[in-house]
Amino acid sequence: MLSPSINVANSLLAQAFNEILRLDSYSISASGTTIGVLVKDPDWLAPVRNRVGMLGQAGAKWIEDKPSVWGPVLTQFSNYGSAFAGVADAKATTSDQWIKLLKEVLLSQLNKSIDTTNIAATALQGHYQAFKNIQPLLESSINAGWAELQDEEQQMVKIAAQLTRLEDLVGSLQDSITAGDISTGQSVVTTTVKTLYNVATGVGESFSFLGMAAAAFTVGKFYYDIITKTAAVGETLQQIAKLQIEASEEAQAAAGTKLVLRLLYNLELTFGRIVDVMPQIVTMWSTERDKVQQAIQALQAGADPATYFDIFTIPIANANWQAISKFAIAIPATKTTVGPPVTLDPQHPIAT
């Protein structure tokens, strides 16, 4: 049949959509990450700030380029759906008529879809590489700080471990948006989650050092309600605050920079997944092109269009393509609700 499975196509698109949302969230977070100055600012911290700035620029570049990368990938589905509908309505009867339609309409559009999706995949790879190039630089500057504070390494490791746990909790409480959610028009709730990591100077006293803001996604419920009712979040915040009091200001700063490094790792992982999904979409288009070429060859060899399976089932394939096209159109039209913001601050351990 001259169409893929509706479920397979929609699942691929839903997977890509989820990764795009995560990329947006991490990129916005990278752009909005700020690192303050300590009273006695160590030499290693200036390069960290500089490279966090580079990370922010890379994140901003993705946000700027996203419409021209992601939009055309979705447009190919509606374009091909329209082309296929035209073929299905053409009422061709002879082999020559079918060959002309398959070549000039379907094959032409499939080649465009493959080329366009490959261009998007290449653009994504470029953004992926931009973040990868920053990783060793940021790691080097952060590791320099840790090397200077070897006497406090054990305490820094404990703080960094709890910060990692906090980020894992934030991620685990979010929803993946399923193909069913998109098809049924479920509202996606996007929530701004701001993480404040202040350097503690005493019990109940601190000054601003690291600020990060990201987006959390849920379906049909507020992320605020979920996170404020999750005891593990408050417990983790309390543990971070307790550990900070036991460390010097510089050690607290060094531990906090690991949170930025974790952001970069998550960005890379998400880019890696979307970079993997795009070739799968290309493969789907290539498979459809192979089917059309085989149908052309069969008709040229004398197959009867009235009984040839791929021609006989054109109406069914058309129904499939219209469903897939409708799904692709629904993705950018997904309803978005803004939920109450959440602030995570170890110095004020109850998520608000």
Q: Give 299-332 pLDDT, tens digit per residue.
A: 999 999 999 999 999 999 999 999 999 999 999 9
pLDDT for 103 equals 96
pLDDT for 291 equals 97
The pTM of the full predicted model, rounded to 2 decimals, is 0.88
- Is the pLDDT reported for residue 177 higher than 70? yes
| Tens-place pLDDT, residues 118-154 | 999 999 999 999 989 998 999 999 999 999 999 999 9
pLDDT for 352 equals 58
pLDDT for 261 equals 87
| Tens-place pLDDT, residues 234-266 | 999 999 999 999 999 999 999 999 888 888 888
pLDDT for 206 equals 86
- Is the pLDDT reported for residue 187 higher than 80? yes
Sign of the C-alpha dihedral, residues 327, 328, 330, 331? positive
- Is the pLDDT reported for residue 349 higher than 80? no
pLDDT for 235 equals 93
| Tens-place pLDDT, residues 48-78 | 999 999 999 999 999 999 999 999 999 999 9
- Of the pLDDT bands very low, low, confident and very high (cuts 50, 70, 90), residue 85 is very high
Q: How many other C-beta atoms lie within 10 A of the C-beta of residue 297?
A: 11
- Of the pLDDT bands very low, low, confident and very high (cuts 50, 70, 90), residue 269 is confident
Q: Tell me the mean pLDDT in the region 198-208.
A: 83
pLDDT for 322 equals 97
- Is the pLDDT reported for residue 170 higher than 80? yes
DSSP string for residues in 101-120: HIIIIIIHHHHHHHHHHHHH
pLDDT for 263 equals 86
Give the DSSP H or E segment for 15. helix 6-32
The label of the residue with tokens 């959610």 reads: 181
Chain mean pLDDT for the chain? 92
pLDDT for 347 equals 85
- Is the pLDDT reported for residue 350 higher than 70? no
Local structure of 36: helix, strand or coil: coil
Structure tokens at 190: 């996007």
Q: Tell me the mean pLDDT in the region 207-211.
A: 90
Torsion of CA 330, 16, 77, 320, to 10 degrees: -80
pLDDT for 265 equals 87
